[in-house]
């Protein structure tokens, strides 16, 4: 009886530890916990170039995460990238002329959407589209432009 009891306690502790480890891995190593609001509204924005923006990338305003990218698609007619993202419903007073730009956290960090407040009295709501957008800065293009400029200066 004593033997089985200690075996049962040991097994129970082992399984609890295992579940604790799984819980730790799913909550602490993934970003699922910093934005997990159910009550959201959906907004769309069109970009010329989204760089390496991907699903679940954060949407931030003044540096605070207020939403998350839910879908990245390509419009075959206008040849633009269509990014769908959700914003927490408690932030329902974002002017509809705000501009969305794709920024990078750190020099080599992951990309996110930064919203810059506009001045309109009409607010973004479910299904609306952000009109003013600024594409991701692609490092290669930037370097390319810089080299072309440097080259043309030499010719002068």
Partner 1 sequence: MTRLIRDIYDSGIEFVRTFGAFQLFFMQLLRHTPTMLVRRFDLVVKQVFNTGALSLVIIMVSGLFVGGVLGLQGYSNLARFNAEDSVGVFAAFGLVKELGPVITALLFAGRAGTSLASEIGLMKATDQLSAMEMMAVNPVPRVLVPRFLGGVIAMPFLAAVFSMIGLFGTHLVAVELLSVDVGAFWQQMQMTVDLEDINEGIFKSLVFGVAASLIAVWEGYNAIPTAEGVGRATTRTVVITAIAVLVFDFMITALML
**Binding stretches for partner 1 (CB under 8 A):** 4, 7-8, 10-11, 13-15, 17-22, 24-26, 28-34, 56, 105, 108-110
- Our CB check for partner 1 shows the closer of 56 and 145 to be 56
Q: Which two tokens stand for residue 109?
A: 């960090």
- Our CB check for partner 1 shows the closer of 15 and 142 to be 15
The answer to whether 103 and 111 are in contact (CB under 8 A) is yes
Summary count for the chain: helices (H), strands (E): 2, 8
Q: In whole angstroms, how close is the CB of 24 to partner 1 at the nearest point?
A: 5
> 119, 114, 112, 70: which is closest to 94 by C-alpha?
119
Residue whose tokens read 């633009």: 80
Angstrom distance (rounded) from CA 87 to CA 91: 7
- Our CB check for partner 1 shows the closer of 5 and 153 to be 5
Q: In whole angstroms, how close is the CB of 142 to partner 1 at the nearest point?
A: 19
Q: In whole angstroms, how close is the CB of 125 to partner 1 at the nearest point?
A: 29
């Amino acid at each position: 009886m004593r033997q089985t009891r200690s075996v049962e306690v040991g097994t129970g502790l082992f399984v609890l530890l295992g579940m604790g480890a799984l819980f730790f891995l799913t909550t602490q190593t993934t970003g699922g916990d910093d934005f997990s609001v159910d009550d959201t509204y959906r907004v769309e924005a069109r970009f010329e170039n989204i760089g390496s923006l991907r699903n679940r990338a954060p949407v931030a305003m003044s540096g605070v995460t207020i939403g998350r990218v839910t879908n990245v698609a390509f419009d075959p007619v206008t040849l633009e990238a269509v990014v769908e993202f959700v914003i927490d419903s408690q932030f329902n007073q974002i002017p509809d002329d705000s501009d969305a730009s794709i920024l990078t956290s750190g020099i080599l960090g992951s990309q996110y959407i930064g919203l810059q407040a506009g001045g309109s009295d009409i607010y973004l709501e479910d299904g609306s589209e952000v009109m003013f957008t600024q594409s991701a800065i692609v490092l290669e293009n930037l370097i390319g432009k810089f080299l072309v400029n440097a080259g043309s200066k030499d010719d002068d």
